[in-house]
Amino acid sequence: MNLVVHPSDLSGRIEAPGSKSHMQRLLAAGLLAQGESWIRRPSDAADCMAAAEVAAGLGADIEIGQNALKIRGGLAPRTDVLHMGESGLGMRLFSPIAALAPTPLTLVASGTLQHRPMQPMADALAALGAQAKLRNGCPPIELHGPLRGGQSHVDGGLSSQFLTGLLMALPCASADSILEVSDLKSKPYVDMTLEVLSATGVSIHHQDHQKFTIPGGQSYLPFDETVAGDWSAGAFLLILAALCGEPFLEVDRLGNHPTQADQAVTGALLLSGAKLMRTETGIRVERGRRKGFRFDATHCPDLFPPLAAFAAFCKGPTILKGLHRLQHKESNRGIALKEEFEKAGIQIELNTEEDTLTVRPGPVKQAKLDGRGDHRMVMAAAVLGLAGAPIEIEGIEAVAKSYPDFFDALSEVGARFGKA
């Protein structure tokens, strides 16, 4: 589906959606807990719905209400094929959990997730007692447990998500485990996992995120938790507030969550000269002058699309570091940003040697941009349209992955959209 986004003034208050990262971890904990747990204000993102279906397939009883989800745990697979959709986190989180079961199971993927490399995950699962087979190093993954525990090395350079899966599964293994971790990226998301584990009665010890000691034979406790607001999606709302607020736009449900790496967007905005003020329920951002800035997004790569869109309207170039983290996303985001933004008159330079993406601002011109089947590319294109010139976006349905109500929520604060 295509949509034309027109320049707009935005005002009032808008609420960030629930964090799909937090939600999926809570679903995994609910599956492994013996008893009834509650997840308040659940996310309805496609990735979360896929995770809920996988949890149900692995034995959980789930009831979804208007503003809460009830889950009764118990790992007892009801099917031998589990459909993970396009969720990279879901695949890496639920593969180790599925490997706890003593029966053969297959996790299948769709879209670009079918082409994301996951051989290190299969190797680590094999070292910990489970059989794991991929197709040319990518999903689907065929598993035959049980995952028994032991010692393994985890390379955290590509993603921290598989480490999260092991940290959630191994406490339920029969033996104790030790994980040696190198080159860990996105440490805040590992801290989010550790917070969920602590809240559900699971004990794990670590030495500066490099060595994790995990006692086996533990049990998850039932819980009643509320899903945090999503800083990854909220970053786009804050960017739009800085560019289109008239006189300001307040973004609610963005509390202080240091375990969400994308909270770092506030630092980038401050570097640009934006004015932010925390309120009782969120953050207020005023439209103002903006200057180019340098920002290291290595540990928060999902900030590349919103910050690149924001940089298009700053005075002077902006340099974002961590380019190598963009290759294995829903699209190759470095290349996608460069090719699509240049259609709208914004020049982007990719420097693999220095690991940087440089945005050179300029007048945004009317254009038709391809969302590349990537939710964050669609939202970045929407920023160009709302703050610059009319932009027709192809494939707006991709936002369902993380923020199904993105366009509807923006229309309620003044965004203007039209049919293609």
| Residues classed as catalytic | 302
Q: In what order do the strands lie in the sheet with 391-394?
A: 367-370, 391-394, 2-6, 416-419
Please, which residues have CB within 8 angstroms of residue 48's CB and are 6 or more apart in sequence? 18, 20, 23, 24, 27, 42
| Token representation of residue 2 | 């295509």
Dist CA 392 CA 369 (whole Å): 6
Bridging pattern class, strands 356-360 and 347-351: antiparallel
Handedness of CA 206, 211, 217, 219 (dihedral sign): positive
CA angle 142, 160, 228 (to 5 degrees): 105
- 232 and 405 in contact (C-beta within 8 Å)? no
Report helix, strand or coil for 125: helix
Gap between the Cα atoms of 341 and 385, Å rounded: 11
CA distance 55 to 61: 8
Those residues with Cβ within 8 angstroms of residue 246's Cβ, 6 or more apart along the chain or in another chain: 9, 10, 11, 287, 414
Backbone angles phi, psi at 124, to 5 degrees: -70, -40
List of E strands, 162-203? 177-182
Are 357 and 382 spatial neighbours (Cβ–Cβ below 8 Å)? no
Under 8 Å CB-to-CB from 327, ≥6 apart: which residues? 333, 334
Residue 361 near residue 314, CB atoms below 8 Å:
yes
